[in-house]
Structures are given as structure tokens and as C-alpha cells.
Amino acid sequence: MLRGLYTRCRRRVRGARWAFYAALVDRPWDRRCGVETQDPLGVAELAIPADRCDSASEYMASPTLVFRHVVRRLELAPCEWTLVELGSGKGRVVLMAAQMGFRSVIGVELSPRLHEVAQRNLLAFPLAARSREAVKLLCMDAAHSPPPEDTVYYLYNPFDAAVLSTVLDNVERAALEGRVRVRFAYVNPEFASVVDGYEFLRQVEAGTKCGERYTLWATTP
Ligand SMILES: C[S@@+](CC[C@H](N)C(=O)[O-])C[C@H]1O[C@@H](n2cnc3c(N)ncnc32)[C@H](O)[C@@H]1O
């Protein structure tokens, strides 16, 4: 009972912090960029397949300060890496990553409704032509998305442990064949223990930014 109370309190505090940064930083970011990525949507509003409703998280956008911090902590040259966002929602992280100069940026989103919003946002967002061409928005299940090349995966707690394992099985196969280097960035990492169970990845950092916990992994050399 005490554990349940603690979890509820922690969720409330996290929600209040998220709303604080939304009002102060993230909604103004949306306005400045001419996009709408901020408003949350519950799972029932996402129009995703019925058999995926239990595994999917609701839509909540990553706080912009958290994504910037995570990229800084990864200590890599964006121009040498592809960023794949699993559960890319309305596309905020995809747009930011394109602006930061990642070699290519792929957003994978299950909800056709969010995918449509992301496409509109991409058209409205101020980006150089070359950066815009580097962006691909895919409306599909992350469990079926193939690992491309040297890739930073970014996840804001999009789905449950079962989908996460399927994703990691695919990534592991490519990594063990020596085809890809991988960085795995997981914000609000509810199922971090699942990632820890994969030997091809080693945890390199766990921290907190704006009240959001994150964990980073990298392929072992
Ligand atoms: C918490 S939101 C994160 C949004 C975005 N990543 C961000 O940080 O701004 C989680 C997203 O994952 C998506 N999602 C859930 N299950 C998925 C799956 N199996 N494949 C792809 N996307 C999924 C949801 O539709 C939702 O948009």
C-alpha cells in the first residue's frame, strides 16, 4: 500500500514538473517554431490498432531541455549519426534533431493521427532544405522498424517491456553482425532493466534533467 502511494506521489510530482516546463519553455518553443507538439493525447485518442492499446503509452512530448541535455551527454558528432526516435508522436524530437544536424533523422510512430500532425509540423518548421531532406517520418510499429546504420535511438517511455524486447532483438542482430554502432537513450526509463539484460549494450550514464530520469547505453567496443 505504501509503495502504491509512493508511486502515485512520484507520478504527480513528475506531472507537475512537466507542466511547469511546458508553460515556461516548451509551449513558447512551439509558438516560436510555428508548430504544435505540446498538447498531450490519451491512448484512446491515438487511433492505434486495438491489440496495441495495452502496450502503448499516451502522447506526451519530451521537454526540449531534456532532449538537448541527452544529446550533449551522448558526446557525439551529430553529423556522423542517424537518430531514430521510436514513438515519435507529433515530431518535436525529430525536428530538433534535424536542426542539430544529425546525418539523418527517422521518426517511427504507430498512431496515424500523430503521424499526420508530425507531417504538418515538418512542413511548418524552419529548416534548411538539406536538413528537411534528411528527415523521414514513418507510420509503423517500432517492433518492425529495421536498424539502419550507426544509430542513436531515442525513446521517451513509448511502450511496454514486450515491444522494447522485440526492438532490442532487432538492434542486437544488426550490432552483432558488426553492421552498426548504437547509442540507446531512454528517458523516463520504466523498463531499463530490459535494456540492461542485453549484453551488446553497456550502461554509460544514468541521470536526471528537469525532473525526468534518463539512462544511456552504448554498444560495447
Ligand atoms: C510518451 S510519447 C513520446 C513522444 C515523443 N517521443 C517525444 O518524446 O516527444 C510515446 C509515443 O509512442 C507511440 N507508440 C506507442 N507504441 C508504439 C509502437 N509500438 N510503435 C511506434 N510508436 C509507438 C505513442 O503513440 C506515442 O506517440
Tens of pLDDT, residue by residue over 139-177, are 999 999 877 788 999 999 999 999 999 999 999 988 888
The pTM score is 0.96
**pLDDT value of residue 122:** 98
Please name the residue whose Cα sits nearest to atom 8 of ligand 1: 62
In the chain the domains, ranked by start, together with CATH numbers, are 2-219 (3.40.50.150)
**pLDDT value of residue 4:** 84
**pLDDT value of residue 152:** 96
Element (H, E) at 15: helix 2-21
With a 6 A CB cut-off, is 108 part of the ligand 1 pocket? yes
59 Cα: distance to centroid of ligand 1 (angstroms): 6
With a 6 A CB cut-off, is 143 part of the ligand 1 pocket? yes
**For ligand 1, mutation pick of 88, 114, 116, 145 (most atoms within 8 Å of CB):** 88
pLDDT digits (tens, 9 = 90+) for 101-139: 999 999 999 999 999 999 999 999 999 999 999 999 999
With a 6 A CB cut-off, is 92 part of the ligand 1 pocket? yes
**pLDDT value of residue 176:** 84
Q: Are residues 187 and 153 in contact, defined by beta-carbon separation less than 8 angstroms?
A: no
Q: How far apart are alpha carbons 12 and 15 in whole angstroms?
A: 5
- At 85, is the secondary structure helix, strand, or coil? strand
